[in-house]
Structure 1
């Protein structure tokens, strides 16, 4: 699988998990209508399907996705929750992303 295709799948999975989770959060924490939770749950289920589009094994896919999730959660919060990450948030997210890219993309013989 090409590098760009796998990155795209990680991003799509992140949008499904974070977007679905955010809708559930809004339903339960912000008292939005129940349909927020229902749609959020359906999008969260879609996340589980999207992750299977990767070609690596379960361990590498989910470990690597964790790093993408960290970065995307900060970006989502900046856009939708008026969050401003500090330098330690950014440094930590970049370290996590670098680490998981080593796990997933390192050449293996």
Structure 2
């Protein structure tokens, strides 16, 4: 379940940040900020659903998911295909996220 929450959080964060990017960098309407803010609030709420004793650990594990999701956004939304270095970097980050989430704790 944590993986699905992280995917939803990543989509919400990337969409929210993209709204600001479109407004400030692409000269789109400032009205894009409103759904962008709602999306960022959804992102923050979703991360509170992660079953972790420490928020920092939940956020650290999320980082790997965010990186992979950002590259997927790059490809599907922005039309730029990630290169092998992007894919290798994301794979390393996902391995790190898995260690953070499921590593043995004493």
State the TM-score bracket (shorter-chain normalisation).
Answer: over 0.9
Establish whether residue 13 from structure 1 lines up as the match of residue 42 from structure 2: no
Unaligned runs of 5+ in 1: none
Instruction: Give the Cα separation in 1 of the matches to 2:104 and 2:51.
Output: 14
Shift of 1:29: 1.1
What residue in structure 1 maps to residue 75 of structure 2? 78
- Cα RMSD (Å): 1.0
Unaligned runs of 5+ in 2: none
What residue in structure 1 maps to residue 50 of structure 2? 54
Instruction: Give the Cα separation in 2 of the matches to 1:105 and 1:33.
Output: 43
Runs (4+) of structure 1 moved beyond 4 Å?
none
Structure 1, 10-19 or 79-88: larger mean CA deviation: 79-88
Q: TM-score, normalised by structure 1?
A: 0.91
How many residues get paired? Answer: 105
